[in-house]
Structure 1
Amino acid sequence: MALQPSLRPLIIAGSSAAPHTLDIFLDYVCPFSAKMALAIENVLVPLCSEGGKYGDKVKVIFRPQVQPWHASSTFVHEAGIAVARVAPQQFWPFALALFKQQGDYFDIPTSTITPLEVRAKLATLVESVIGNNLTNDFKSLLELKGSPNGGNAVTDDLKYTIKFSRQNSIHVSPTVLWDGLVANEISSSWGEKEWTEFLAKKVAV
């Protein structure tokens, strides 16, 4: 599947030249996405990274899935893209940290704070992952532009991810594509057994 150059850090495991692709659409404020993220970290990353059984055969791409019925979804995904820009190697560690603290960004906890306060809260989390030397660069990417409705420096990348989901009819998270087709059998409850059996079958084809 296509991935524009600025979003290459979203390949979280495997070689970009791998013949097979797992596109995994996740929303940082979705509990089921958080559950799948743990399986990605504990099962897919070891299997599909360099030295793993499928390191040269399968690449795993994190696909940001903004779900607008959660008011903070846009803000948390902006943060993820900004981290990918300023600290590419820390994108996935930050994603994991955000999933672990996703409750702070649920509907009710964010209902009484402003968007600027949400972004400030995210900046504190970012600093704990990438360090304070890059946090100012992160913050600058999320500063609103001079135009009243111009977005920020990562808005175009955010638009790309949303358009990509829409044109592929991805509606909810988590959704997983295998080589471009929705794999409906994959569940957020999958563990090592299910994933290893799936890959053994698919990669052998």
Structure 2
Amino acid sequence: MSLQPSLRPLIILGNRNAPHTLDVFLDYVCPFSKKMAGKLDSIVKPLISNGGKYDGKIKVIFRLQTQPWHAMSTITHEAGLAALHASSEHFWPYSLALFEHQDEYFDIPTQDLTIRQVRENLAKLAATVLPSNTIEKFKDLLALKSTPNGGNAVTDDLKYNIKFSRQNGIHVSPSVLLDGLFQSQVSSGWEEKEWSEFLGKAITV
């Protein structure tokens, strides 16, 4: 599957030129997405990177799946995109940190916070992962500076991700496409056995 050039860092695992593509739709405030993200990092990554069995054969694209029934979904995904543009090599580590701290951005813990306060907390989390000289850029990317309803510097990228999900009929997270086709069997509960069997069947070149 294709990506607009500014979002190439959404390729989080594997060789960027690998022939096969796994699109994984995740929401930062979805518990099942957190589980899937952990499995991608601990199980899939060793299989497709750094001399793994399927190194150079398949890449994984993290598709940001904003789900409006989670109040902080938009805000956290904006933060993910800000990390991507502030320090692209730290996008996936920051994403993993967001998943690890996702309960801090659930509805009840954030119900009395302003959006500004939530973004400040997201910047504090970014400061634990991103280089210190990129944090001001991270904050600036999230700042509202245009028209009263014009969003921020990552709004267009957020729209791209949302439109991509809509045109592919993706409704929930996690959802997975293999070379553009929906894979209903893929589960956040999969362990190494299931992932190894799936990749073995999926990779044909």
- Name the TM tier (shorter chain): over 0.9
Unaligned runs of 5+ in 2: none
* SS at structure 1 position matched to 2:60: strand
Q: Percentage identity across aligned positions?
A: 61
Contact 1:12-1:45 at 8 Å conserved across structures: no
Q: Which position in structure 1 is the counterpart of 2:132?
A: 132
- Report the Cα distance in structure 2 between the residues aligned to 1:71 and 1:122, rounded to whole angstroms: 15
Give distance in 2, aligned partners of 1:174 and 1:119: 24
How far apart in 2 are the matches of 1:19 and 1:204?
Answer: 9
Equivalent residue for 1:39?
A: 39
Mapped partners of 1:145, 1:157: distance in 2: 16
Between the two proteins, the alignment pairs up a number of residues equal to 205
Contact kept, 8 Å, 1:48 with 1:60, in 2: the verdict is no
Gaps of 5+ in 1: none
Cα distance, 1:204 vs. partner?
A: 3.6
Stretches of 4+ moved more than 2 A in 1? none
Paired amino acid for 1:35: K
Alignment partners' CA distance in 2, 1:117 and 1:153: 18
Residue 191 of structure 1: aligned partner? 191
Structure 2 CA distance, aligned partners of 1:146 and 1:204? 48
> Partners in 2 of 1:146 and 1:167 — Cα distance?
28
| Partner of residue 154, structure 1 | 154
Aligned to 2:168: 168
Q: Secondary structure at the match of 1:39?
A: helix
CA offset digits 1:142-193 (Å, max 9, x no partner):
0002310110000000000000000000000000001101100000100111
Secondary structure of 1:129's counterpart equals coil
Please give the alpha-carbon distance, in whole angstroms, between the structure 2 residues aligned to 1:166 and 1:189. Answer: 25
1:200 aligned residue: 200
CA RMSD of aligned residues (A): 1.0
